[in-house]
Structure 1
Amino acid sequence: MTDENNKLLIDLEVRIKQLLFFCDSLKDENERLKSEIKLRQEQIDEAKNDLKVLKTKYDSLKTVRTITAASVDVDTAKLKLSKLVREVDKCINLLK
């Protein structure tokens, strides 16, 4: 072989080694990213479960609040409704 062919062969070997190194680094990065995706998915699943629990608690609190408000504030609600009816009657009289 000639010197030029040897240089080309050496250059080719160097480039192949660079490509192999680059391929290995991409494989490592790919594994790291897959691991990160798995971690993020686990965090999302945990957050969804927390959200489900919180929604259940919130619905329970709304129910309790409704029951409590219904039993305690019946008189207050009647007074507010009476006041509202009087205001509507005044408006109707003004329109006549």
Structure 2
Amino acid sequence: MTEDRDKLLLNLEVRVKQVLLLCDKLKQENSRLKEERVLKDERVKSLQKELSLLDQKYNSLKMARTITAASVDVEAAKLKLSKMVREVDKCIGLLRK
């Protein structure tokens, strides 16, 4: 009977040591994963800031393009209008003859 108990006790001791080793490994992995998560969170924040800056630059460029396009359109419209006025003046001149 004591032999069986000794075997059981030894078996239990081995299993407890295995569980403790597994627990230590899991704690280490958990710690590593937490550090990895912190690094990833920092990367995400950095990328979000970069995205925000790029959005601001994009909006500024879009606004500048709109203003530039509007200026070019105004100049083109003025040139076309001047050309049309000259043509109308020519037509009026021809009608007077």
> When the two structures are superposed, what TM-score results if normalisation uses the length of structure 1?
0.75
In structure 1, distance between residues paired with 2:2 and 2:66:
94
In structure 2, distance between residues paired with 1:71 and 1:8:
92
Match of 1:49 in 2: 49
Query: How many residue pairs are counted as aligned between the two chains?
Result: 78
The two structures, once aligned, show a CA RMSD in angstroms of 1.7
Over 3 Å off, 4+ runs: none
User: Does residue 1:30 correspond to 2:50, yes or no?
Assistant: no
- CA displacement at 1:73 relative to structure 2: 2.1
- CA displacement at 1:2 relative to structure 2: 1.2
Q: Larger C-alpha radius of gyration, 1 or 2? A: 2
Residue correspondence of structure 1 range 7-86 to structure 2 within 5 A: 7-74=7-74, 75=76
Give, as a single letter, the amino acid of the residue that structure 2 aligns with 1:20: L
Give unmatched runs, 5+ long, in structure 2.
81-97
Give, as a single letter, the amino acid of the residue that structure 2 aligns with 1:57: K
> When the two structures are superposed, what TM-score results if normalisation uses the length of structure 2?
0.75
